[in-house]
């Protein structure tokens, strides 16, 4: 089975062909933004990294910035740096170079803002024109990596949108693809069920280790997770306990064996289903999925108020390079249908089966991978800075 | 007849797919849409909320998706609304 994608050297195929301007540190966002504003078709990926991160958070920021550059949805990268930052343009260029064209301008090398601006614009125009010559070719569906997240959870999530998403996940994995799901806090109370599906004892132990660490951190913070999960909105929707919410959440990953457990932004080593140890916050999580090589992101909605405000939290507005396929599960929100790519609410009203909805989502993977715009891509406009995940001390 | 879906054959609660009133008969269906049985709603239950398909004793495990989702904090009659007023999490808060 194939899709029409962009072949890349030394990596899987891309489904988009973006040229991005990537600052090495948030201090230089303005220059990156100004360079991109002068070139049609270039995307500035402004972010919040600053030289105040330590140890694991600094490593995570480095992995994230390099991972943005290496994702196959990106044709080429213009790095914009200063020269005094903790993660330099030279280091990032070295990591990105095996996979694609990467260029850099810095205040240090190019003397000042104006000369870096002029040089950056010239380089970027060339990259954008070169990208416009690349054509889509037949690529194996096994090249796809799909990230999965759920939100707006109610008890219908586990009956409609999550099982449909799980079905599509299984179909992709059967054909050699990779699927990543995450949200460590949402495993609490259901970790033993997912651990039973682990491909090895090591994977099972790593998974339980992530959840135990999360529980310990929550307790050290002096918070009773049972007091905040399930949320008020979840309870109004019929979810009674955290176990029930978590069991419903893991359904979105389907029934495949768990091939591995990843760090935030870490790339899967082979095909199959992966769990990423990460946050539930949508835009930070989507950035982690993109860094891990995901070309498509699925957002499975239960329904309710989160399904009705159209943009956030589904849309990581600074990350237009990762198409998001939104799935709606609740027929009570049918008037919002046009803001979703796939409707699974027919499962609740008895008009469609989980199999039907799962197959239509899987077909949507191939269509979007071949160039079809998602609803979110077609809306455009509103953008925010990328938020790189940190969970430690900031100086 | 309005429906409630049983996610696993061993579950003792089903999820109501459309809000029901006290005394209304509900058809309990499986995930592949087979009708398993009919029960009477003991009270008003909102869409997406759970109904006991058998009586559940005080301290017994409430089961959904074939897994325990909590412990009954009192006797729950067949047909009753099952939610935070009669179920608690099986997890314990450990502040140490």
Rounded to the nearest 5°, which phi and psi values hold at A155? Answer: -75, -15
Residues 6+ apart with CB under 8 A from A122: none
Measured distance CA(A233)–CA(A179) in Å, rounded: 28
Tell me the C-alpha distance between A392 and A395, whole Å.
10
**Structure letter (DSSP) for residue A172:** H
Chain A residue with CA closest to B7: the answer is: A159
Distance between B22 CA and the closest CA of chain A, angstroms? 17
Residue in A276, A277, A279, A340 with CA at minimum distance from that of residue A306:
A340
Q: Mark the ranges of chain A whose per-residue pLDDT is less than 70.
A: 311-318, 381
**3-state class (DSSP) for residue A61:** helix
Chain A residues whose beta carbon lies within 8 Å of the beta carbon of residue B31: 163, 354
Angle CA A69–A71–A76, to nearest 5 = 50
Where would I find the H helices in chain A? 29-37, 55-70, 89-96, 113-131, 161-174, 191-195, 201-220, 225-228, 232-236, 242-250, 282-291, 346-349, 354-369, 375-379
User: A238 and B87: CB-CB below 8 Å?
Assistant: no
pLDDT of residue B31: 84
Taking only the tens place, the pLDDT of each residue in B3-21 is 999 999 999 999 999 999 9
Please tell me what DSSP assigns to residue B8.
S
Chain A residues touching residue B26 (CB < 8 angstroms): none
Please judge whether B48 and A155 are an interchain contact, meaning their C-beta atoms are less than 8 angstroms apart.
yes
Alpha-carbon torsion, ordered A351, A239, B83, A348, to 10 deg: 0
**What does the pLDDT read at residue A312?**
53
Look at the alpha carbons of A160, A162, A168, A174 in this order and tell me if their dihedral is positive or negative: negative
Note whether B69 contacts A241, CB cutoff 8 Å: yes
Mean of per-residue pLDDT scores for chain B: 93
**Among candidates B17, B31, B64 on the partner chain, residue whose Cβ is nearest the Cβ of A348:** B17
3-state secondary structure of B64: strand
The predicted pLDDT at position B72 comes to 97
Interface of B with A (CB under 8 A): 3, 5, 7, 15, 17, 31-33, 46-50, 62, 64-65, 67-70, 82-84, 87-91, 93-96
Q: Tell me, what's the pLDDT at A318?
A: 60
The pLDDT of residue A22:
98
A241/chain B closest Cα distance in angstroms: 5
Q: What is the pLDDT of residue A332?
A: 86
Per DSSP, what are the bridge partners of residue A43?
A20
Interface test with B, best of A192, A234, A241, A346 (most B CBs within 10 A): A241
Kindly give the pairing relationship between strand B13-16 and strand B2-6: antiparallel
pLDDT at A221: 86
Check B69 against A219: CB less than 8 A apart: no
Q: Smallest CA–CA separation between B29 and chain A, in Å? A: 11
Are the beta carbons of A158 and B82 separated by less than 8 Å? no
Q: Do A193 and B68 touch (CB under 8 A)?
A: no
Which of B65, B84, B88 has the CB atom closest to A247's CB atom? B65
As a whole number of angstroms, the distance between CA B81 and CA A12 comes to 50
Note the pLDDT of residue A116. Answer: 98
Closest residue, chain A, to B90 (C-alpha): A243
Instruction: Report whether pLDDT(B30) > 50.
Output: yes
Instruction: Give the residue among A263, A231, A259, A114 at the shortest CA–CA distance from A173.
Output: A259
What is the model's pLDDT at position A382? 72
Query: For A101, what's the count of Cα atoms within 13 Å in the CB-facing half-sphere?
Result: 16
CB contact (8 A) between residue A155 and residue B15: yes
Interface of A with B (CB under 8 A): 154-156, 158-159, 163, 188-190, 193, 215, 219, 222, 224-227, 235, 237-238, 240-244, 247-248, 251, 332, 348-350, 353-354
Mutate which of B10, B15, B69 to test chain A, going by most A C-beta atoms within 10 A? B69
Contact A155 B83 (CB under 8 A): no
Q: Is B17 helix (H, G, I), strand (E, B) or coil?
A: coil
pLDDT at A316: 54
Size of interface A-B (CB pairs under 8 A): 87
Residues B68, B88 contacting (CB under 8 angstroms) = no
Dist. CA B41–CA A233, nearest whole Å: 24
| pLDDT number for residue A391 | 80
pLDDT at B32: 81
For B86, name the nearest residue in chain A, comparing CA atoms only.
A240
Task: Look up residue A341 and give its DSSP letter.
Answer: S
CA distance B53 to chain A (A): 16
Residue B96, pLDDT above cutoff 50: no
Q: Model pTM?
A: 0.93
Q: Are A131 and A17 in contact, with CB atoms under 8 Å apart?
A: yes
Decide if A243 and B91 are in contact by the 8 Å CB cutoff: yes
| Structure-derived torsion over alpha carbons of residues A200, A205, A206, A212, reported in degrees to the nearest 10 | 150
Percent of chain B residues past pLDDT 70, beyond the cut: 96
Q: How far apart are CA B33 and CA A351, in angstroms?
A: 11
Query: What is the pLDDT, as a whole number, of residue A314?
Result: 43
Dump the DSSP string for A118-169: HHHHHHHHHHHHHHTT---EEEEGGG-EEEEEEES--TTTTTTHHHHHHHHH
The angle formed by the CA atoms of residues A235, A283 and A395, to the nearest 5 degrees, is 105
Q: Strand B13-16 relative to strand B50-52: parallel, antiparallel, unpaired? A: antiparallel
Q: Do A354 and B31 touch (CB under 8 A)?
A: yes
- 3-class secondary structure per residue, A22-52: EECCHHHHHHHHHHHHCCCCEEECCECCCCC
Tokens of A301: 């909605």
User: What are the phi and psi torsion angles at A116 (to 5°)?
Assistant: -65, -35
Cα separation, A280 vs A392, in Å, equals: 16
A243 contacts in B (CB within 8 Å)?
A: 67-70, 89-91
Measure in Å the smallest separation between the Cα of A369 and chain B Cα atoms. 31
Residue B95: the pLDDT is 44
Over range B20-46, report the average pLDDT.
94
Q: How far is B93 from chain A (nearest CA, A)?
A: 6
């Amino acid at each position: 089975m194939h899709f029409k994608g962009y072949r890349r050297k030394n990596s899987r195929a891309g489904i988009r062909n973006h040229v991005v301007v990537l600052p090495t540190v948030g201090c230089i966002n303005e220059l990156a933004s100004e360079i991109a504003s002068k070139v049609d078709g270039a995307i500035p990926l402004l972010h919040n990294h600053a030289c105040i991160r330590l140890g694991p958070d600094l490593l995570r920021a480095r992995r994230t910035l390099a991972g943005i550059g290496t994702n196959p949805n990106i044709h080429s990268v213009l790095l914009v740096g200063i020269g005094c930052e903790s993660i330099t343009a030279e280091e990032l260029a070295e990591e990105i170079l095996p996979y694609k064209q990467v260029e850099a301008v810095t205040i240090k090398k190019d003397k000042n803002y104006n000369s870096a601006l002029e040089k950056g614009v010239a380089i970027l125009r060339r990259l954008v024109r070169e990208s416009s010559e690349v054509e889509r070719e037949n690529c194996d569906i096994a090249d796809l990596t799909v990230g999965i997240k759920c939100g707006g959870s109610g008890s219908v999530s586990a009956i409609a949108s999550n099982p449909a998403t799980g079905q599509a996940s299984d179909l992709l994995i059967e054909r050699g693809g990779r699927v990543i799901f995450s949200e460590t806090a949402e495993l609490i109370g259901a970790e033993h069920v997912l651990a039973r599906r682990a491909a090895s004892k090591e994977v099972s132990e790593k998974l339980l280790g992530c959840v135990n660490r999360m529980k310990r951190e929550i307790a050290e913070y002096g918070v009773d997770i049972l007091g905040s999960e399930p949320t008020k909105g979840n309870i109004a929707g019929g979810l009674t306990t955290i176990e029930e919410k978590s069991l419903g959440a893991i359904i979105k990953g389907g029934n495949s064996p768990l091939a591995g457990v990843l760090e935030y932004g870490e790339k899967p080593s082979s095909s199959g289903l992966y769990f990423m140890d990460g946050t539930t916050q949508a835009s930070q999580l989507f950035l982690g999925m993109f860094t891990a090589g995901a070309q498509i992101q699925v957002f499975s909605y239960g329904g309710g108020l989160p399904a009705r405000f159209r943009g956030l939290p589904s849309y990581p507005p600074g990350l237009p390079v990762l198409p998001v396929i939104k799935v709606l599960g609740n027929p009570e929100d049918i008037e919002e249908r046009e803001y979703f790519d796939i409707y699974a609410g027919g499962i609740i009203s008895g008009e469609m089966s989980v199999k039907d909805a799962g197959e239509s989502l899987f077909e949507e993977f191939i269509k979007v991978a071949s160039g079809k715009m998602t609803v979110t891509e077609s809306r455009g406009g509103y953008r925010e800075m990328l938020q790189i995940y940190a969970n430690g001390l900031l100086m | 007849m309005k429906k409630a879906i049983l996610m696993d054959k061993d579950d003792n609660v089903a999820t109501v797919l459309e809000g029901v009133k006290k005394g209304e008969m509900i058809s309990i269906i499986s995930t592949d849409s087979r009708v398993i049985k009919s029960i009477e709603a003991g009270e008003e239950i909102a869409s997406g909320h759970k109904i006991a398909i058998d009586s559940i004793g005080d301290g017994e495990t409430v089961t959904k998706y074939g897994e325990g989702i909590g412990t009954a904090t009192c006797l729950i009659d067949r047909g009753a609304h099952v939610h935070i007023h009669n179920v608690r999490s099986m997890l314990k808060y450990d502040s140490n």
